[in-house]
């Protein structure tokens, strides 16, 4: 104890205190900078995800519409009294509009896989597995609505991932399906099976 009371001891203490303060300040600054760097990195990752995914819900629904165009076209052709020339012109117009469908599909799926949440990717994977299993097969009504349900759930899930807003998937059917009330039970059943199988947010359960 006598050393620290001596002139030399006081000199050592006088030198150590600023050094210790400087070291503590350096460590505190390093920790703060590291935390800020991580937060900024996370912010940039979120911003990049938002930028890449912001239009995806709309793009998913547009892709579904484009895939349905040939079916709608046939219904219009059968219902409308067209001349052969008008029918051919109409078919050519629809086919021209869907000429980039494969590219559109691949770009959309790649973006979902690259930037989407694990739930969004699980919906996409389940949807494609179902599509592949039905190639060359005329699906029954339940399978048809199960395929549709994947598209609607994918759009709804990504909307939730981006905005935090979750909506009842049934609202899309009410807007777009003319015989919704007739098919209501089938639609709800197929939607909710997917939600349960993929363990999606309970807010996606159709009610």
Instruction: Provide mean pLDDT across the span 139-158.
Output: 93
pLDDT on residue 185: 94
> According to DSSP H, which parts of 54-117 are helical?
56-79, 84-97, 101-115
The owner of tokens 């503590």 is: 24
Q: Chain centroid to CA 156: how far?
A: 8
Where residue 164 falls (left for φ over 0; alpha for ψ -120 to 50; beta otherwise) is left
> What's the CA gap between 63 and 38, in Å, rounded?
37
CA–CA gap between residue 207 and residue 204 (Å, rounded): 9
Residue with tokens 């973006």: 111
pLDDT tens-digit series, residues 178-196: 889 999 999 999 999 999 9
* 24-48 pLDDT tens trace: 777 777 676 777 656 665 666 666 6
Can you tell me the distance from the alpha carbon of 166 to that of 45, in angstroms, rounded to the nearest whole number? 22
Which tens digit of pLDDT belongs to each residue from 87-97? Answer: 666 666 666 66
Report the predicted TM-score, pTM, of the whole model to 2 decimal places: 0.70
How many Cα neighbours within 13 Å face the side chain of 102?
2
pLDDT reading at 131 higher than 80:
yes
Handedness of CA 21, 24, 29, 32 (dihedral sign): negative
Other beta carbons within 10 Å of 39 = 10
Quick one: which of 150, 163, 144, 165 has its CA closest to 119? 150
Task: Tell me: pLDDT of 1 over 60.
Answer: no
> CB under 8 Å to 114, separation ≥6 — which residues?
52
Could you tell me if 115 and 48 are in contact, meaning their C-beta atoms sit under 8 angstroms apart? yes
Q: Where are the domains of the chain?
A: 2-45, 54-204
Nearest C-alpha neighbor of 207 from the set 180, 175, 166, 171? 171
Q: How many helices (H) and strands (E) does the chain have?
A: 9, 0
- Whether 150 contacts 194, CB under 8 Å: yes
């Amino acid at each position: 104890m006598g050393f620290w009371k001596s002139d030399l001891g006081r000199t050592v203490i006088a030198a150590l205190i600023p050094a210790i303060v400087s070291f503590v300040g350096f460590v505190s600054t390093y920790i703060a900078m590291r935390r800020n760097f991580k937060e900024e990195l996370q912010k940039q990752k979120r911003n990049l995800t938002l930028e890449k995914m912001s239009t995806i819900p709309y793009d998913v629904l547009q892709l579904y519409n484009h895939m349905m165009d040939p079916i709608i076209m046939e219904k219009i052709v059968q219902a409308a009294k067209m001349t052969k020339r008008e029918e051919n012109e109409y078919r050519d117009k629809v086919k021209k509009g869907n000429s980039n469908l494969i590219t559109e599909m691949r770009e959309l799926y790649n973006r979902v896989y690259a930037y989407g949440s694990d739930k969004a990717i699980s919906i996409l994977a389940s949807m494609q597995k179902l599509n592949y299993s039905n190639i060359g097969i005329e699906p029954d009504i339940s399978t048809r609505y199960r395929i549709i349900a994947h598209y609607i759930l994918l759009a709804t899930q990504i909307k939730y991932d981006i905005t935090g807003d979750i909506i009842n998937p049934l609202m899309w059917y009410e807007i777009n399906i003319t015989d919704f009330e007739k098919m209501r039970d089938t639609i709800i059943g197929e939607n909710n099976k997917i939600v349960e199988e993929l363990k999606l947010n309970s807010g996606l359960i159709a009610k």
